[in-house]
Structure 1
Amino acid sequence: ITYNAAISACEKCGQWEQALKLLNSLQEANLTPDNITYNAAMSACEKGGAWQEALRVLQQGLENGLQPDTITYNAAISACEKCGQWEQALKLLNSLQEANLTPDNITYNAAMSACEKGGAWQEALRVLQQGLENGLQPDTITYNAAI
């Protein structure tokens, strides 16, 4: 719990490098990170614009037996969104669905925003259509990402 709180504090301040150091320290102490740990570390990377590091954290978690949930994927997709890495965001959206998890508004909004920031407006509209077919209840953020 102490490590999770410290990593979450780093996330709130955008101190992604410190968050990753804490994640490594936790593992060196033979403690097992959980979803909250990995999600907070990825969110810290997102806030620091370190999308590649966020994906490394996700991969490391998967290799260590992490059972990702929608929040986990949302953290990774949001990290890609901040830097317009739409192709990576869409790969993560597909991975989420292949894992039989249900995307939510945050998932679709972040994926569409990544497409928008990356200049892939047609992909953003495709994601919107997919979301609507899957029961997405669009909100202001959804429509802003689509236009």
Structure 2
Amino acid sequence: MPEARLMPSQITYSAAIIACGKGGQWQLALSLLSPMHKATVVQNEITYSAAISACGKGSQWQLALNLLSSMHEVTLVMLSEITYNAAISACEKGSQWQLALNLLSRMPEARAVPNEITYNTAISACGKGGQWQLALSLLSLMPEAKVVPDQITYSAAISACEKGGQWQLALNLLSLLPEARVAPDTITYSAAISACEKGGQWQLALNLLSLMPEARVVPNEITYNAAISACGKGGQWQLALTLLSLMPVMKVVPNDVTYSAAISACEKSSHGIWH
């Protein structure tokens, strides 16, 4: 840009840092942040948020939190929900649910208002950490905070229940979606079916799979993998193979996990050799 007699601005730096983050180049993103001082370009909230997000995508949650901390020392830079969302997302990707919740609790002090992205990420962090109770607690706090749960929120909460072996709660959440005027998607159904699979509820898993066309939701390989595994755990090897044969019809390509689940279903029922 200097060769073209163009001076980089806050917008230019932010765009470049965002690009590096999306490309998984967190080192380059950070290297762009420091030269801004020399270029007499003031670092702002968007620049820092982009750098924090880049660190999060690169699984560098410690660096993301260091950047957040350093923002306090920079004058004229405010910590907003965008910044906190980027930092909470970094903690979520790094499986640091305690730190994610700590950041969420600090937002009012910084006069940053949590939004649906904040809660969705925090709920997902709790789910990854096996803290399904905390995930549901956050979901219940959203109306009080005047934040409306969306499709992603419920999917994250159902996934948290699935990881915690709470298939009944997962199905309860799924049943609440019509009342909340939230349309379930493939991720939502897949999480619920996986919860049934973990709970040994193969009939319920198949029932959910059968309800998807009516809800205009298209199953994917994750959905079928969970359903096939559920059938396998329930000793229903014939149903597992039927689901496998239906996948090409539904334009879903089986993967390694699919075949492993189907083979496991046959193996458990002493039908390990099949053609």
Structure 1 and Structure 2 fold alike (TM over 0.5): yes
Contact map agreement 1:96 1:102 (CA 8 A) in 2:
yes
Q: CA RMSD in A?
A: 1.2
- Are 1:92 and 2:208 an aligned pair? yes
Q: Deviations 1:19-57 (Å, cap 9, x if unpaired)?
A: 111111113434210111101101100110001111111
Inter-partner Cα distance in structure 2 for 1:5 and 1:15: 13
TM-score (norm 2): 0.51
Inter-partner Cα distance in structure 1 for 2:178 and 2:231: 25
TM-score (norm 1): 0.94
- Are 1:54 and 2:170 an aligned pair? yes
Q: Deviations 1:50-96 (Å, cap 9, x if unpaired)?
A: 01111111111222111111111111111111122111111111111
Kindly provide the amino acid, as one letter, of the partner of residue 72 in structure 1: T
- Secondary structure of 2:217's match? coil
Q: Quote how far apart the aligned CAs of 1:132 are.
A: 2.5
Contact map agreement 1:83 1:117 (CA 8 A) in 2:
no
Match in the other structure for 1:130: 246
Larger radius of gyration: 2
Pick the structure with more helix per residue: 1
Match in the other structure for 2:124: 8
Deviates more, 1:45-54 or 1:29-38: 29-38
Contact map agreement 1:23 1:33 (CA 8 A) in 2:
yes
* Residue of 146, 149, 152 corresponding to 1:33: 149
Q: Deviations 1:108-134 (Å, cap 9, x if unpaired)?
A: 111101111121111111211222221
Structure possessing the higher relative contact order (Cα contacts under 8 Å, 6 or more residues apart): 1
Inter-partner Cα distance in structure 1 for 2:201 and 2:120: 27
Contact map agreement 1:84 1:116 (CA 8 A) in 2:
no
Contact map agreement 1:11 1:19 (CA 8 A) in 2:
yes
Q: Specify every segment of 5 or more residues in structure 2 that has no aligned partner in the other structure, as ranges.
A: 1-116, 264-275
- Are 1:141 and 2:257 an aligned pair? yes
Contact map agreement 1:26 1:33 (CA 8 A) in 2:
yes
Inter-partner Cα distance in structure 1 for 2:118 and 2:217: 29
Q: Quote how far apart the aligned CAs of 1:142 are.
A: 0.7
Aligned residues: 147
- Secondary structure of 2:133's match? helix
Match in the other structure for 1:43: 159
Deviates more, 1:95-104 or 1:44-53: 95-104
Q: Specify every segment of 5 or more residues in structure 1 that has no aligned partner in the other structure, as ranges.
A: none
